[in-house]
Amino acid sequence: MDVRSLASQAVRWPAKILFPPVCLGCRNLVGEPGTLCPDCWPGVRFLERPWCEVMGTPFAHEMGEGVVSAEAIADPPPFKRARSAVLYEGVPQRMARSLKFGDRTDLAPWMARWMVRAGAELVTEADAVLPVPLHRYRFLARRFNQSAELSRAIARQTGLRHLAAVLIRRQSTRPQVGLTAAERETNLSGAFTVPPHLRPLIKNKRLILVDDVYTTGTTVKTATRALLAAGAGSVDVLTFARVLPKDFALGGVETI
């Protein structure tokens, strides 16, 4: 071990004593920051190939290169591709809720690392990254936008330009939880826009739209349409977690 390594460890040692690293899922002590303990690690299901090339929905079996799901064929989304890092269940669900409702913004950089891994192909082709915005009233109540925390961390880790204020939410809509698909569409109709003076920033650009959880896709689809109408070249969607049917639940027969 060289002198530089010894010096680096000497600097980090007091910090580890005063602020020991804790598990992202349960806050028990772990050896390194940004990791999970042995109890939490089995509670994470990473979304891996094979998957639908458009929706990022995993297939139980290899279907061949470029195959898309029935969902993508029956109802083609306005975005080019969607990718998510993990299944929204167990530990990832707790992490997402802790970020959104528990003010755990310290989780965002670590969640973003998983997202960058899941969206590697999107990142290599993108010009910029931006978050799904909150309405200003909700932002003032919550004090931060969890999607913006994630998109900012992704921009720092990838070097992509961060367009935090290009897309705005001009209507204060009802929470989407508990609404039917039709009600979600109506609730978000006309909710997003890009101010005319900011449209040159996205003109013909390849964008990554970031959100915390992909549920039905109504929010990101509506936001994507607003970006494309404002002149964006293409939009990919990247989320931390994805809600999938119960067939994909932890402990199921098929793996993802």
> CA-to-CA distance for 153 and 112, rounded, in angstroms?
6
> CA-to-CA distance for 145 and 252, rounded, in angstroms?
34
**What tokens were used for 252?**
């199921």
Q: Which pTM does this prediction carry? A: 0.84
The pLDDT tens digits of the residues spanning 209-244 come to 999 999 999 999 999 999 999 999 999 999 999 999
**What tokens were used for 95?**
């992490």
Which stretches of the chain score pLDDT less than 50? 3, 6-7, 10-11, 13, 15, 18, 251-256
Q: What is the pLDDT of residue 65?
A: 80
Q: Is 136 helix (H, G, I), strand (E, B) or coil?
A: helix
Residue 228's Cβ-count burial label (10 Å; 0-12, 13-18, 19+) is: middle
Burial code of 229-251, b = ≥16 C-beta within 10 A, e = fewer? Answer: ebebebbbbbbbbbbbeeebeee
Structure-derived torsion over alpha carbons of residues 59, 63, 65, 70, reported in degrees to the nearest 10? -70
List of domains in the chain: 1-43 (no CATH), 45-248 (3.40.50)
Q: What is the pLDDT of residue 44?
A: 94
